[in-house]
Amino acid sequence: MMYYFFLVISIALVITALLSIYFRDLLAAIVSYSVFSLVLTVLYFLLDAPDVAIAEAGIGAALTTCIFVIAIRMTRRREE
């Protein structure tokens, strides 16, 4: 049971990481990266590392997304 759960989480990690590269709309790429961080948080928590999970949720999912959105607001939304 746990094995399949880890398998699903790993596949979701790879898919969200690839999507964040694939999207030409940078806002969608950032949202995908944020989902990547959230899934990684679940993985850290299952691997008995709640410290790292909290840091990943705080910095990876919240603050990095905020800073990237601000950067998009100052530049262009679409990648050429």
What residue ranges bind other proteins (CB under 8 A)? 47-48, 50-51, 54-55, 57-59, 62-63, 66-67, 70-71, 73-74
Closer of 11 and 55 to other proteins (Cβ): 55
Q: Identify whether the C-beta of residue 37 lies closer than 8 Å to the C-beta of residue 45.
A: no
Closer residue to other proteins (CB): 2 or 80:
2
Q: At its nearest, how many Å lie between other proteins and the CB of residue 5? A: 13
SS (H, E, C) 43-70: HHHHCCCHHHHHHHHHHHHHHHHHHHHH
